[in-house]
Amino acid sequence: ILNVEQSPQSLHVQEGDSTNFTCSFPSSNFYALHWYRWETAKSPEALFVMTLNGDEKKKGRISATLNTKEGYSYLYIKGSQPEDSATYLCALILTGGGNKLTFGTGTQLKVEL
Amino acid sequence: SAVISQKPSRDICQRGTSLTIQCQVDSQVTMMFWYRQQPGQSLTLIATANQGSEATYESGFVIDKFPISRPNLTFSTLTVSNMSPEDSSIYLCSVRSNTGELFFGEGSRLTVL
């Protein structure tokens, strides 16, 4: 069984705070890591696809880093806004896995005014 | 990007009944994916629906319980058969982009009483 772990499970922050959360995965046979944002009553939306050790990607106030050797990725949100409230999912693809994504259980972020 | 429409968006069903979920994509795609998220669990792949051939099921999922149709390159259905309360989940269909990330429908939230 492939374990993709996300922490924390949930997080409450104040508007304007910066925050980050973690996705941990087995470091062997790594192919790619995806981050998705899933707002309530909407479709999950892809944020980043990361493939290289040391990758850093940015989209507005959200950024992500990847360390494939130690098996983790961080997602950072700078200056959180209420519209950032969502569940953030990471998903791992292994080499030889046929592009199959294995998802973590997500980090539920609530940004309060 | 792809626009994916799913219906129903939610339903409350009685134990022992079956429900069919429909998924329509606005472009032709070779593979469509059906996922399930049970409460507190990660998003889990049920099966891959290929046009013109039988769906490929993941470990723990069987055709008798989750029959899938794929009559053309833009449409698929997933039936949840003989439902029990354990089938209460969000069911999502998705397609993969050329760059590897998934596009999802808005999900079908099933509650089985």
Confidence of residue A3 (pLDDT cuts 50, 70, 90): confident
The verdict on a CB contact (< 8 Å) between B107 and A43 is yes
Interface test mutation site (partner B, options A31, A38, A40, A43, max chain B beta carbons within 10 A): A43
Q: How many CA atoms lie within 13 A of A37 on its CB side?
A: 16
Q: Is A82 helix (H, G, I), strand (E, B) or coil?
A: helix
Q: Which amino acid is at B3?
A: V
Cβ atoms B70, B55 nearer than 8 A = yes
- Mean model confidence pLDDT for chain B: 95
Which residues on chain A are in Cβ contact (under 8 Å) with B39? none
pLDDT tens, residue by residue, A53-100: 999 999 999 999 999 999 999 999 999 999 999 999 999 999 887 788
Cβ atoms A88, A75 nearer than 8 A = yes
Question: What is the token pair recorded at A108?
Answer: 């539920």
Distance (Å, rounded) from C-alpha B43 to C-alpha B36? 6
pLDDT tens, residue by residue, B73-82: 999 999 999 9
Whether B50 has a pLDDT exceeding 80, the answer reads yes
- Mean model confidence pLDDT for chain A: 95
Average the pLDDT over A9-27 and give the result.
96
User: How, if at all, do strands B31-37 and B19-25 pair?
Assistant: unpaired
Cβ atoms B84, B112 nearer than 8 A = yes
Distance (Å, rounded) from C-alpha B81 to C-alpha B62? 11
Q: Is A83 helix (H, G, I), strand (E, B) or coil?
A: helix
